[in-house]
Amino acid sequence: MDLKLSDKTALIFGGSRGLGRAIAAELAAEGAKVVIVARDGARVERVAAELGVLGLAGDVSKPGASRALVLQAAELLGRGPDILVTNTGGPAPGNFEAISDDAWRTGFDNLWMSFVESVGAALPAMKEKGFGRILAVTSVAAREPQPGLVVSNGLRAGLLGLVNAISRDVAASGVTVNALLPGYTNTDRMKEVGVTSESMGSKIPAGRIGEPHEFAALAAFLASERASYITGQAIAVDGGLLQSI
Ligand SMILES: NC(=O)c1ccc[n+]([C@@H]2O[C@H](COP(=O)([O-])OP(=O)(O)OC[C@H]3O[C@@H](n4cnc5c(N)ncnc54)[C@H](OP(=O)(O)O)[C@@H]3O)[C@@H](O)[C@H]2O)c1
């Protein structure tokens, strides 16, 4: 299937590792001109060279940074991004009584304001050209709260409401807005915390954790012209983990 991405520009937050990196690789392989963003500038540079994409160092949790990164990316790309992937590191783990007010605020800046700022900055150009794809990488926790992840559970569920609300506002302009919900996926981060198919497989109907490229395949499709009538959705890539319908 030709995804018709060769004339598209893309900005991918959190693109130096894990799910973001896999999305960057997939979009670049389809011919899109891609900018990745992450905090560790040396790794951004190395990964950008490996993938044949452009890179920017930045911290999307800092007030104003996500908005500024969209503008910086537009300069590198020659125009505003046609495809915006909002993605970042996971928030502090813990149950409600273990989470400080500061951790809630940091989580909100990281997961919520980075989306609000970057979408606000990218939308005007998308609407003007009559094409835009906004993909919010969230988590299965947005739909079914996961144990010990109260910040993720609370904030990501709210974000699904925002994704759907924005999608309705902009649907007639050729801009789609969707949320992607990864289940347990084999990224470096998951290796670091000991999540493997051996430790988790029995809890997942597919019997194993997912691979980043399996997640990125959905992102590439949703970013394409082919997905022009899919908007306001929250789609899980989880090997059947979620039980809710
Ligand atoms: N993998 C899974 O199984 C899974 C399951 C459910 C949900 N998720 C969620 O999906 C997202 C991505 O997961 P992942 O496994 O790909 O994580 P990861 O391997 O830790 O990668 C995170 C990426 O985001 C960048 N990043 C982190 N904080 C950032 C910030 N403040 N500003 C800019 N870039 C930042 C990281 O680079 P720097 O550190 O250099 O900034 C890295 O490129 C996370 O929110 C995670 O909670 C993942």
Which atom belonging to ligand 1 lies closest to the Cα atom of 62?
31
Q: Which of 13, 39, 46 to mutate to test the pocket of ligand 1 (most atoms within 8 A of CB)?
A: 39
Model pLDDT, residue 2? 87
Mean pLDDT of 160-184: 98
Mean pLDDT of 34-62: 98
Task: Grade residue 148 by pLDDT with cuts at 50, 70 and 90.
Answer: very high
Chain centre to alpha carbon of residue 169:
20
139 lines ligand 1 (CB under 6 A): yes
Range of the domain at 42: 9-187+196-237
CATH number of the structural domain spanning residue 226: 3.40.50.720
pTM reported for the whole predicted model: 0.98
**Better-predicted residue by pLDDT, 21 or 2:** 21
| Alpha-carbon gap, residue 137 to 211, rounded angstroms | 15
Residue 166 has pLDDT above 90, yes or no: yes
Q: State phi, psi for 229 to the nearest 5 degrees.
A: -115, 15
Residue nearest to atom 41 of ligand 1 (CA): 39
| Alpha-carbon gap, residue 79 to 145, rounded angstroms | 39
Residue 3 falls within a domain, yes or no? Answer: no
Which atom belonging to ligand 1 lies closest to the Cα atom of 15?
43
Residue nearest to atom 25 of ligand 1 (CA): 14
Instruction: Count how many domains the chain has.
Output: 1
**Tens of pLDDT along 91-142?**
999 999 999 999 999 999 999 999 999 999 999 999 999 999 999 999 999 9
Residue 142 falls within a domain, yes or no? Answer: yes
Residue 210 falls within a domain, yes or no? Answer: yes
| Alpha-carbon gap, residue 113 to 162, rounded angstroms | 12
**Tens of pLDDT along 69-98?**
999 999 999 999 999 999 999 999 999 999
| Percent of the chain surpassing pLDDT 70 | 100
62 lines ligand 1 (CB under 6 A): no
